[in-house]
Amino acid sequence: GAGVSQSPSNKVTEKGKDVELRCDPISGHTALYWYRQRLGQGLEFLIYFQGNSAPDKSGLPSDRFSAERTGESVSTLTIQRTQQEDSAVYLCASSLGPGGNQPQHFGDGTRLSIL
Amino acid sequence: AQSVTQLDSHVSVSEGTPVLLRCNYSSSYSPSLFWYVQHPNKGLQLLLKYTSAATLVKGINGFEAEFKKSETSFHLTKPSAHMSDAAEYFCVVSDLRTASKLTFGTGTRLQVTL
């Protein structure tokens, strides 16, 4: 597709369940990012993948959060044993390459609600 | 560490009047600065970026921003607001040290009234 695609667009689940969120980056983009956006707030960086390098996981809030990426394609963000404070919109972005001057292209996000 | 401060959480303007959304940044290294817009239930769309070229940057939809190093500011402006400009706007900074890790401001919600 032309843009970053995320699925599902909405997810409602019970506290304690595991959830998996998916991101398809723009074809050819080597860099991929996950962010969390809580209601009425800016974006919090979670994790960054660049090519085959080790990911930058410095933003993951706890060991319940993990992410994988296969090569330079799809990425999944997994949250285990979800808590109510995990409720947020999770945004994925990709960019053509590394470097702070490369603009990031965002998907529409997954809205996660923990009951 | 780098940081961004968006001075107004909410701005309201009448359609056809100028828009000013204020942003101040802090960075120890040469920064790259961006403005993104987020419409309801949508992802973020890049409006414009500054990466050490011209200090006056023109973006999409008639928006522009001026990088002022002496004031550590990167305010977003538009001469005439449209109803479709109503959205959340984020000022974002990165620098050579943090590479691809962006730091986002808390956002400014722009309301446009008739």
Check pLDDT > 80 for residue B95. Answer: no
pLDDT tens digit string along A61-99? 999 999 999 877 899 999 999 999 999 999 999 998 876
pLDDT tens digit string along A7-43? 999 999 999 999 999 999 999 999 999 999 998 778 8
Subunit contact A41:B99, Cβ cutoff 8 A = no
Contact map slice: B 82-111 vs A, CB within 8 A: 90, 94-96, 98-107
CA distance B113 to chain A (A): 21
Write the single-letter amino acid at B30: S
Strands of chain A, DSSP E: 5-7, 10-13, 19-24, 31-37, 43-50, 65-69, 75-79, 88-95, 105-106, 110-114
Please tell me whether residue A85 adopts helix, strand or coil conformation: helix
Dihedrals phi, psi of A15, to nearest 5 degrees: -55, 135
